[in-house]
Amino acid sequence: MRCFVALDLPEALIRPLTRLQAGLEVGRLVEPENLHLTLAFLGDISDATAREVAAGLAELPDGPIELELTGLDVMGGRKPNLVLMDARPTQALVNLQDRVRRVAQDAGIHMERRRFRPHVTLARFQKHMTPKEERGLAGFLAFNAPYALPPETADSVSLNRSHLREEGAIYEPLAEFLLTG
């Protein structure tokens, strides 16, 4: 199973994000129920390993965290393939990500040492954007450039399975863990 661990978004952030997405007329939008902040991508793991990760995540509670989305950006170099909202890498968020990585490593998963850039993906583009998509994206960014949201409390982490489909990935929550314990 292709799995990842995410910080679930508070309702109060989902509404403004879907409103923002509505202005993006190109690319494939992430469905409201699929909006999330990835804490760790686990890759292809067995059921047994997923259960081990779930057991570790159940030990996570350390209190809810403040999640602040600070700005709209694109990722993917000269040919961006993601539109995202960056999250402020607060100590609490970085610590949470560290602890989730440790849970994954303890379950025997090899974790790549990539710099953590916390973000919420809003839309994805095909590898090669059409000129129309490039213009649409440029217009959207120019119109919405300084876009930040006030901090909101995030209180749950989920273990998800990602089903890759031609029409886009479908995320299936396998387990949810409240940070409030």
- Residue 32 near residue 15, CB atoms below 8 Å: no
Considering only 5, 13, 24, 38, the residue that binds ligand 3AM (CB under 6 A) is: 38
| Catalytic site includes residue 128 | no
3-state secondary structure of 30: coil
| Catalytic site includes residue 110 | no
**41 touches ligand 3AM (CB under 6 A):** yes
Positions in 91-130 near ligand 3AM (CB under 6 A): 121
**162 touches ligand 3AM (CB under 6 A):** yes
Query: In the numeric block, which tokens belong to residue 115?
Result: 């710099």
Q: How many other C-beta atoms are found inside a 10 Å radius of the C-beta of residue 77?
A: 7
**147 touches ligand 3AM (CB under 6 A):** no
User: Alpha-carbon distance 75 to 82, whole Å?
Assistant: 5
**81 touches ligand 3AM (CB under 6 A):** no
Active site amino acids: 36, 119
